[in-house]
Each structure stands twice: as C-alpha cells, then as structure tokens.
A and B are shown apart, each in its own frame.
Chain A
Amino acid sequence: MILVEDKDIVVPGEILAEGEYYAGRGTFKDDSKICSALVGLVAIRDDKISVLPLQSKYIPKRGDVVIGKITEVRFSMWNVDINSPYSGILPASDVFGREKRDMNKAFNVGDILFMRVVDVDEVKKVKLGLKGRGLGKFRGGILVEITPTKVPRLIGKKGSMINMIKDHTKCEVVVGQNGLVWVKGKPEMERVVEKVIKTIETEAHTSGLTDRIRVMLNQLLDIEEDVNKEEEEDYKEELIQ
C-alpha cells in the first residue's frame, strides 16, 4: 500500500508505503513500513521508493567533474576545497608529468580549477586530475553556489535549461557536480545568469520550470536592454551639453 505520490514533499519519519515495495535512497525500513530519512521529494520508479533531498552536501564520486578552490600549496600536491566535507588533492605529477617546476607559479591559493575526480578511496581521500577536455584553471568570471542536488535541474533534460541560459545571455557557463557554477560573459549578463541560477535553485522542485525561466530571462534581458538604451540617451545628452 502506497501512501504518497510522486514528487510529494516529505519529512523524516513520514511513512511512505507499507508492504511490497523496495526502500531506495533516502529511506529506511521499519518492520514492513518504508519511511523517509530526509526532507525531500518522493521519487517512485516501478516499486522502488526513494527520497531526493531538498538540500545536500556533495559526496565525491569517481568520474564527476567538479569546480574546486586551491586552499594550500604543498611539496608535491595542491589541497583543493571541493565544496564538500572531504577535501581533494591534486598531485603535481598530474599537472607537470615528470618535469619539476615551481608549484606556486602553476596554481596558487585562491585559484579556481575545473577538475575530474580520478579516484575516491575507502577513507574518502579524493584524488583529482586535470586530464580531459576543458579542464584547467578559470580566468575571470564569477562563481555561483547552489546545493548539489539541484545540479541536474540546472542542466535540464539533455542540457535544455543550461543551453537556453547560454543562448539568451551569451555567457559561458560551466557546472560542477559539486554545486559550484562558473559564469563568464559581459559583467551585467553574469549578474543575470546568477539571478536565474538562484531562482532555479529555489524553485527546482516545481514543474514547468524551463518555461518560467524562459519568461524570466526574456523579462530580465528586456529590462537590461532598456537600461542600456537609457544609458545611451544619457550619454548623448551629455555629449550635446
């Protein structure tokens, strides 16, 4: 017997179903009852019930691409903050090969890098690597932070959401699986993208989001254009004076 519907919001301890169902992630079994362990949304796939958390911390997984911040330069590696309870390491050998070079000149504290999680061992030591297309250090742009469970929503089905944002604002947008997003474009466009991303984060659990975001983007961009026009007019007036 199932007591909830798909995409219902549940709280910890809430009974989701009884009897012939499988307990998925974010749930636990109490005798024959399946209960939620988190605050989140119910997801029902066939007879498996799981709960997707509304908020979460990033748990590193092999193969993920993440955005990280260098926190320390050590003798043969960098310590990297990947917005997670576990910090990552980037070995120097992965960047330089066999060559020996000055570590500080390559990456220094405060640099933002786009990396791949190469390995996560049993004590959650996270090894990162830079081998792959588009990986490396970011120059310029801004960083936006969202909760990692909302990342799939920001990307959308086959990238529909993220591509729409890119097309509308002509910004480069890179999303890390750990909830950090890097945006680069015209400064005013960067702010528009930041605003849109924050909206997606707060409204991720509602349906019809892509359409609403499209409307929001159009509105924001119209306003932006008006402002530009006004500025131009002001500028012309100044010239006349």
Chain B
Amino acid sequence: MQPIVPEITRISVTNLINKGERTDGRSLDQYREISVETGVIKKAEGSARVKIGNTQIMIGIKPQIGEPFPDTPNVGVFMTNSELVPMAAPNFEPGPPDERSVELSRVTDRGIREGKIIDLEKLAIIPGKKVWMIFIDMHILDYDGNLMDAAALGAMAALMDTKIPTATVEDDEVVIDHENMQPLPLNDKTVMTTMAKIGNELVVDPSLEEEGIMGARISIGVRSDGAICSMQKGGERPFKKEEILKAIDLAQEKTNELFKYIP
C-alpha cells in the first residue's frame, strides 16, 4: 500500500523539479549524504551498515557449507534476502516478504550475479558434493526512499568485508579451519544508481516524498569497469528511448561517485 501524497505537494514538488530544484535543496543529479560502515556485526563473517540520507540498511553475510545445485555442480551458491522491518516505515508489515522486499532482494542479487562479482568457482570444495553457500541478508532499518542503491552499495561493502574460514578436504570430509580466515574471492565491484522520472525530468536518488509522486523509476547497476550488469524499471509510466540513454549516462557518472565509498 502506497501512502497517499497530498495533491498540492505533488504539484509543488513537480513544479520545483521542472525548474531544476528539489525540496531538500539538492540538484537533480545529487545524492544525499552517504555513509558506509563495515564490520558492524561481530557474529557475521561480513557486515555493513549503509545510510543514504535517512535511509538505513544493515547487511550481514553468513557462509555455510552445503550441496550445490544439480545443474551447476562445480560452483558455489549465493542467496540474497531482504527484510522490510516494520519499524522502518508505517506501511511495512511483519509476515512473509511482500512485493517490495522480493523486488529489492532480486535486483540486488541480479547485480552481483550477472556482474559475476563473486568468484563462485573458487567456492567449490568437493565439486558436485560440497560448496560454500553465501547468504546475504539485508535488514531495512529506516526507510526514506531509494532502497535499491543503499542495498546494492551495502551488499557490495559487506561482501568486501567478508572473511570465510579455510576449508580443506581430508578423506572426502570437509575440514573447516576457523583460525585461518581468508577474504571472499571477488572478481569486481558493482553499485547501483536509481533515477525517478518526475514531470519531464530524471532525478537521482529519489527521497520518500519524491518516490510517492514519481511516474516511473529506473535502477541501473554498473560494474567498476563500466559494464552494466543489472537494470530494473518500476512505476506505471513509460520511459522514452532518449530518457533511458540519458539515465545510462547518468548512472555511469554517478556510480563512479559511489565506488569511492567502497575502495
């Protein structure tokens, strides 16, 4: 359920954006203040807390030994999950994950999977039998718009912070050495930029108020070499071809800024 936005707010915000200004004084392509902390949860092998403005997400990474999927027996497994904690917003309800939660975890997952960020082949221990399974769990603590960028940035920061125990094979048995932790094998980095279409303009990093009145949004995940690895469109209005091309240019530019938070 979307909260109802007052008609006069819709008009005043749209007028302001058409003039190239925003209610919080940002320019159209400016992010809110971003902070990334890693290693915030001692019990998790990797963790991060990300804030974009008042939006706040906590991410924990847990590795576990498990069986690979039958169709990919020689590579590791990773899963992404998100939890919209009721305290984060009045319209987040407890219970099974809803549409928004599923979308958020799938889009984050897609960026990491299609960008081939985790070197899954190195996560196989006994090919076909035992592999590392990496669980990425995202808890939304405070919701003030633009969860996608915060989730993608946080997941990446947490993955880079992750250290997994060394696993060796002795007589067909897996032996885990918790004394010798090693970094999770990563190939690259990815972050995401979300743009909302309000009036005829694209605004980067929409706030909660702007998300309430946007016609459509597009999120673009970019790898550090500039390759696009994920994309998601939301909202009921369409995008023109030129707008998507403009969004891609903007995303390439803005993701460069975001990469600075996860060196």
Contact = CB atoms under 8 A, between A and B. Distances in A.
Interface of A: 69, 71, 81, 108-112, 138-143, 182, 187, 190
Interface stretch (B8-16, B39-47, B142-150, B226-234): B8-16
Most chain-A Cβ atoms within 10 A of its Cβ — which of B5, B6, B15, B16? B6
B4 interface: yes
A128 to B, nearest CB: 16
B99 interface: no
Nearest to B25: A191
B8 A140 contact: yes
Given A187-B15, A187-B16, A143 B4 contact: no
Given A111-B7, A142-B12, 18 more contacts: A69-B4, A69-B6, A108-B7, A109-B4, A110-B4, A110-B5, A110-B6, A110-B7, A111-B6, A112-B8, A138-B8, A140-B11, A140-B12, A141-B8, A141-B12, A142-B8, A143-B9, A187-B15
Contacts of A138: 8
Contact of A112 (B6, B15, B16, B19): B6
A140 B5 CA distance: 14
Contacts of A110: 4-7, 10
15 contacts: A71-B4, A81-B4, A109-B4, A110-B5, A110-B7, A110-B10, A111-B6, A112-B6, A112-B7, A141-B12, A142-B9, A142-B12, A182-B8, A187-B15, A187-B19
Contacts of B10: 110
A110 B11 CA distance: 11
Contacts, number: 35
A121 B81 CA distance: 46
Contacts of A69: 4, 6
Contacts of B8: 112, 138-143, 182
Most chain-A Cβ atoms within 10 A of its Cβ — which of B4, B5, B8? B8
Interface residues of B, number: 12
Interface in B1-45: 4-12, 15-16, 19
Nearest to A142: B12
Contacts of B12: 140-142, 187, 190
B14 to A, nearest CB: 12
A182 B12 CA distance: 12
Most chain-B Cβ atoms within 10 A of its Cβ — which of A111, A112, A142, A187? A142
Contacts of A182: 8
Nearest to A190: B12
Contacts of A71: 4
B27 to A, nearest CB: 15
A141 B7 CA distance: 10
B168 to A, nearest CB: 55
In the complex, the 10 A-B pairs of residues with the closest C-beta atoms, listed nearest first: A110-B7, A142-B12, A112-B6, A69-B6, A112-B8, A71-B4, A110-B4, A110-B6, A143-B9, A141-B8
Nearest to A184: B8
B144 to A, nearest CB: 14
A142 B14 CA distance: 12
Nearest to A109: B4
Contacts of B15: 187
Nearest to B5: A110
A124 to B, nearest CB: 18
A69 B80 CA distance: 38
Contacts of B5: 110
Contacts of A108: 7
A124 B8 CA distance: 28
B21 to A, nearest CB: 8
A71 B11 CA distance: 18
Contacts of B6: 69, 110-112, 143
A24 B53 CA distance: 39
